[in-house]
Structure 1
């Protein structure tokens, strides 16, 4: 399997250095010569949208994505409408920041009717598409691991994400492949191939054994059981040659100095991704 020989495609997803503010993350990427950054809306809000966009632009960084939109299901029509309005704000933020992809974490059910929640997700995306397209932003559906179905997303397979995306043009809606969420899927490689031309992002981390925590249990690449290189090559064979985001939720990693994390991230990326 082919190894990566440089970090030209490497992107720091801000959550990996969650203790850093946006200005600190930008400075860290510049010093570590990491060319891409994936921004989170809460970090952008802390700094301010215009200031965040200016900092990233002046640093010469490229924005691989903005996280997150989605969270479409709600208990009533007013709640669902409010979610659409928040997603429109997210689209506007992505456009201002120079992020061509808005990552959709689609949201959990408001009650026990998971089928209806999935319909709300599909309806929400359909409502959002014209607005996103008018701003030059593509919606990236990120299926999450099934263990997150009750709290974060009722879209839990790449097959389902592909089904939804297929209803739209590739420049409107695509999928985001995050290895932590999809590595287990026996249908993974056929679904990656099916996503040809629609893969908008590729996220890496690792699945630690034993898993220390459901949310904050991701590991640095090479510390777990995921076939990182095989998945990366499959994604590339499906036409994706864009940035590769390192996205790690792990309190122990968050508590370490950010520059130390970036140095290890670069090393593990070249060795394992």
Structure 2
């Protein structure tokens, strides 16, 4: 199949409609017939876990993931434990809300020693795995673009993420493929193939040229240079048939009425993905 003729797998990642509350986003998805949503923890905390669960439970919307756990590296053992405790809360939230996957944005190094930061990430995941497994939650390591290494994640390639995930059982730890972060990789398709059986999520947007902003510069599908369909087909060939999340950080899109964003998102998904 070269392209979609339905939106059965389409998921609104909440950050794409950042100005909407959880309730507004759920209602928007229902109006647009978008069947899936990915939840962000700051949106859950705005109204609390119980109210979030009530909204989701009564809506019929399916939850593709909760974002985010991670941020493991820290300067002291005490602060590392704070990060682990927060990750356990994130696992609990994912379990309560019916998600199967907690997305891990693993965090920057606590100092200048990036290899030590990577070691802390591995140790953090190792500590979190038994807790997550007990609650039926899989941990999805999302490699970020290398430009985020100092601020958001020391895991900066799909190869690195797969290697890290392979230290654990596939039923517990896998990877999340976000096109914005991995499209540039000369070895991308080999690494997607290598991730077979471990792909827990697939995120889409586009890379605009010129890039307007390092964080807030993602584009709507079709507005940039990413070979979306080819990547999607590779991910499917590697065994992933789950929801496809549209995750866009872009102030212009955030300032656009949510219903318009969802209408455009559906149109571009069918056309380009």
Structure 1 length-normalised TM: 0.99
Distance 1:211 1:227 in 2: 16
Distance 1:225 1:70 in 2: 29
Structure 1 residue aligned with 2:9? 9
Distance 2:215 2:52 in 1: 27
Distance 1:57 1:105 in 2: 27
Structure 2 length-normalised TM: 0.99
Distance 1:108 1:164 in 2: 16
Q: Please, which runs of 5 or more residues in structure 1 have no aligned partner?
A: none
Quote how far apart the aligned CAs of 1:48 are: 1.2
Equivalences for residues 178-193 of structure 1 within 5 A: 178-193=178-193
Distance 1:191 1:47 in 2: 39
Distance 2:216 2:181 in 1: 13
Quote how far apart the aligned CAs of 1:26 are: 0.4
Quote how far apart the aligned CAs of 1:197 are: 0.6
Structure 2 residue aligned with 1:22? 22
Distance 1:198 1:266 in 2: 27
Q: Please, which runs of 5 or more residues in structure 2 have no aligned partner?
A: none
| SS of corresponding position for 2:58 | helix
Distance 1:40 1:53 in 2: 13
Distance 1:56 1:103 in 2: 19
Structure 2 residue aligned with 1:53? 53
Distance 1:53 1:170 in 2: 28
Equivalences for residues 78-157 of structure 1 within 5 A: 78-157=78-157
| SS of corresponding position for 1:65 | strand
Distance 2:200 2:51 in 1: 26
Quote how far apart the aligned CAs of 1:167 are: 1.1
- Misfit runs of 4+, over 2 Å: none
Q: Quote the RMSD (CA, aligned, Å).
A: 0.6
Does residue 268 (structure 1) correspond to residue 244 (structure 2)? The answer is no
Equivalences for residues 172-211 of structure 1 within 5 A: 172-211=172-211
